Structure 1
Amino acid sequence: MKTICILTSYFPPETGAASNRIAHMAHGLTKQGYNVTVITPLPNYPTGKVFKPFKGRFKHTSIENNITIHRLWIYASNSKNKIKRLIAMLSYSFSLVWFFLFNKLPHKIIIQSPPLLVAFTCMLFLRKSKHKLILNVSDLWPIAGLELGTFKKNLSYHILEKIEHYNYKKADLILGQSNEILSHITSIQAKKETILYRNYPDFEPPKIDKKHVSKGKIKIVYAGLLGHAQGIYKLCQKLDYTNIEFHIYGMGAEQQKIEAYISKHKELSIFYHGGVSREELHVALKTYDLTIIPLLNRIYGSVPSKIFEYARLGLPMIYFGGGEGETVIKKYALGWIAESGNYNHLNRVINSISLSQINSNVKSDIQKQALTHFDFKQQLKKLSKAL
């Protein structure tokens, strides 16, 4: 049987796009006939605390859905303190080195990046082996950190750039989730073999309810991480609530600020529903008219995986993040575009939308686009051939 290992910093039962993306890949590869092993930290994201069933362990191994999962020790933290975040990454890197020394790995290894330092650890310690190293790049670091304001162009930034370039050099194959990512990589390693590997979801598409008719205010929903990059707290402050309700699902660093803002502004139509499972979320999303996909700042290389998930659900989108995501929304007629960072334009776009424009035919058309152009199984077959 073909064997493959996936090295990742995120995996279920952790929530979010990163863990879902890798879980889909792992399950998909098993269906392609691979014996899949996943190496990941003890689950701790996004709370920054190791989940209760795994507390006090140095390592936990299980077999779930025919996938062998090794969960390794990590100093868990979601602190904004850069030193603590660095210690967390280094602790997982230490666990990986320990694992590499005492365990035999399959010939083919997929390494998730970011985190940049974790990917570097894998590349450094496996570079002289006979393994085929496949780097799966979902975001461009340190560029993304610079655009988010996390980094400044100083010595530390240039060190991270050298690490990034080293990772690309040592990879035998690179997967990138956007054309911008692949363009950046080939500008550094011109002859490197690359594949566009989008974050397509893999679930049974729901039937569009043709009898459902929305009334009253337009119900807009955001579901996902409540972190700095998404800017949901600022969005709550800037939205015009005259004709809309704004519903929020998820957890993250801005959660307490969002809850406090809602508590102080009960006159506004903002509703926070907490974190729910992906299955529960898919059921809940059927009740909303529109979803919004925001980024506080345009991030080069970023194409939010929510685009592909919502399209499969048939949910029209307002995209508010700039970059390649805009191109996808426009090309496949998935919804509306608001100029990145321009909240006045965002409100004008929202106020221009009427409930009559969000009918079952529109939702069906969006879902058809997803089923035709965002096919996970076809993409996986392409990846399997390249492996």
Structure 2
Amino acid sequence: MNDILIITNYFPPETGAASNRIFHLAEGLQKHNFKVSVITPLPNYPKGKIFDGYRGTFKKTSIENNITIHRLWIYASNSKNRLKRLIAMLSYSFSLIWFFMWNKLPEKVIVQSPPLLVAFTCMFFIRNKKRKLILNVSDLWPIAGLELGAFKKNFSYKLLERIERFNYKKADLVLGQSEEILTHITSLFPKKETFLYRNFPDFEPPKLIEKPNETGKIKMVYAGLLGIAQGIYKLCTELDYNKVQFHIYGAGAEKDKIENLINTNSDFDIVYHGEIARSELHKALLQYDLTIIPLLNRIYGSVPSKIFEYGKLGFPMLYFGGGEGENIIETYNLGWVAPPTNYEALNLQLSKLNNADLSFEFKTQIQKTALLNFNFERQLKDLIEYL
């Protein structure tokens, strides 16, 4: 049996795309006769506080689903203050170094990036000729930070670029969740071995049931992080509610603002449902006509994993983020697109939709397309050939 270690910043019971992605990778490798262990912080995301049941400890090790999970101390924070965020990343890096000093590591290690500093800690301290380091890149930092307005092109940015290049250089294999990520990496290191590893979900697809539209309005839903990058608060203020009823699931930095907006604007046909477990969310989503996948800014290299998850649910999508994600929606006919931040174009697109566009037959076709083209098990088998 092959031993393999996964080092990540996010893992269940934390919620979100990053946590789900790494969990499915770990579980999939375990089912293919790998002895899998995971190093991750004590769960704290997205609230920025250590979860109940994990507080007051420096390290907690458990075996879950035949996977050994080492949860290490972190200074948990979701503060917008850059210094506090840096301290949080450094605290986990110090915990990793401590773990590396006292524990024998397997010869194959998968390192999640970003965060860049955490990935750098791993690539620097555990590199050796006998160990195969696999870097799993889900977003391009610091480029994404620059596009989001979190960074400026100064000394700090140049330092992060050097760290980014060091991480790619020391990796024996780089996994990228988009073609844009792999293009960027091979532009820096043309001979680097790469593998396109999409964020395909691993769950049993539901049986679709045809349901009538009772309200006459399109029941559109967003489910996910209520953060700055998604721009859900801005979306709430710009939607034309004559034809749309907007439902929201999730938590994050904009949660309080959205709740206050709903309470003070009765004309906005918005329903906030809070945060629920992913298994429950899948059942809840089946009652809606359409989902929206927004990004406030087009982020090079980013492809929201929701595309593949919703495809498997047979869920028509309105993509509002540009880039490679937009190309996937159009290539596989999964729904509609509108230019990011162009709310006039978004409302125009919504005004054109009718019941025929959101038919049971279209949903069935989306699910068939997803099952054929977004196959987690087939992709995992291909990846194992590289490991």
- TMscore range, shorter length: over 0.9
93-102 or 263-272: which moved more?
263-272
263-272 or 302-311: which moved more?
263-272
Alpha-carbon separation, structure 2, partners of 1:55 and 1:130:
37
Give the match for residue 328 of structure 2: 328
Give the match for residue 2 of structure 1: 2
Report the TM-score, using the length of structure 2 for normalisation: 0.99
Aligned AA for 1:99?
F
Give the match for residue 340 of structure 2: 340
Q: How much has 1:229 moved relative to structure 2? A: 0.5
Alpha-carbon separation, structure 2, partners of 1:355 and 1:263:
30
Q: How much has 1:129 moved relative to structure 2? A: 5.4
Alpha-carbon separation, structure 2, partners of 1:41 and 1:69:
10
Q: For each residue in 1:8-58, what CA deviation from the matched residue of structure 2 results, as whole angstroms up to 9, or x when unmatched? A: 000000000000000000000011110100000000000000001000010
Q: How much has 1:357 moved relative to structure 2? A: 1.4
- 1:185 and 2:185 equivalent? yes
Give the unaligned 5+ runs of structure 1.
none
Alpha-carbon separation, structure 2, partners of 1:148 and 1:175:
23
Aligned 1:27-38 pairs, distance under 5 A:
27-38=27-38
Alpha-carbon separation, structure 2, partners of 1:324 and 1:12:
28
Report the TM-score, using the length of structure 1 for normalisation: 0.99
Aligned AA for 1:214?
N
Corresponding residue SS for 2:259: helix
Alpha-carbon separation, structure 1, partners of 2:262 and 2:291:
19
Alpha-carbon separation, structure 1, partners of 2:383 and 2:213:
41
* RMSD between aligned residues: 0.6
Give the match for residue 60 of structure 2: 60
Alpha-carbon separation, structure 1, partners of 2:356 and 2:166:
53
Report the count of equivalent residues: 386
Give the match for residue 89 of structure 2: 89
Give the match for residue 25 of structure 2: 25
Give the match for residue 265 of structure 1: 265
Q: How much has 1:239 moved relative to structure 2? A: 0.6
Alpha-carbon separation, structure 1, partners of 2:70 and 2:27:
16
Q: How much has 1:213 moved relative to structure 2? A: 1.7
Aligned 1:109-148 pairs, distance under 5 A:
109-128=109-128, 130-148=130-148
Alpha-carbon separation, structure 2, partners of 1:301 and 1:357:
30
Alpha-carbon separation, structure 2, partners of 1:341 and 1:131:
45
Aligned 1:247-262 pairs, distance under 5 A:
247-262=247-262
Corresponding residue SS for 1:53: coil
Alpha-carbon separation, structure 2, partners of 1:340 and 1:267:
25
Q: How much has 1:270 moved relative to structure 2? A: 0.4
Query: After TM superposition, where is structure 1 displaced by more than 3 Å over at least 4 residues in a row?
Result: none
Alpha-carbon separation, structure 2, partners of 1:137 and 1:82:
22
Give the match for residue 213 of structure 1: 212
Alpha-carbon separation, structure 1, partners of 2:372 and 2:170:
35
Alpha-carbon separation, structure 2, partners of 1:207 and 1:310:
13
Corresponding residue SS for 1:55: coil
Aligned AA for 1:154?
N
Give the match for residue 41 of structure 2: 41
**Fraction of identical pairs, as percent:** 67
Q: How much has 1:126 moved relative to structure 2? A: 1.1
Alpha-carbon separation, structure 1, partners of 2:269 and 2:261:
12
Aligned AA for 1:213?
P
Aligned AA for 1:234?
K
Alpha-carbon separation, structure 2, partners of 1:292 and 1:155:
37
Contact 1:312–1:366 (CA<8 Å) still a contact in 2?
yes
Give the match for residue 172 of structure 1: 172
Alpha-carbon separation, structure 1, partners of 2:136 and 2:171:
10
Q: How much has 1:355 moved relative to structure 2? A: 1.8
Alpha-carbon separation, structure 2, partners of 1:268 and 1:147:
30
Alpha-carbon separation, structure 1, partners of 2:266 and 2:113:
41
Corresponding residue SS for 1:229: coil
Aligned AA for 2:121?
T
Contact 1:213–1:359 (CA<8 Å) still a contact in 2?
no
Give the match for residue 106 of structure 1: 106
Q: How much has 1:198 moved relative to structure 2? A: 0.2
Alpha-carbon separation, structure 1, partners of 2:158 and 2:50:
32
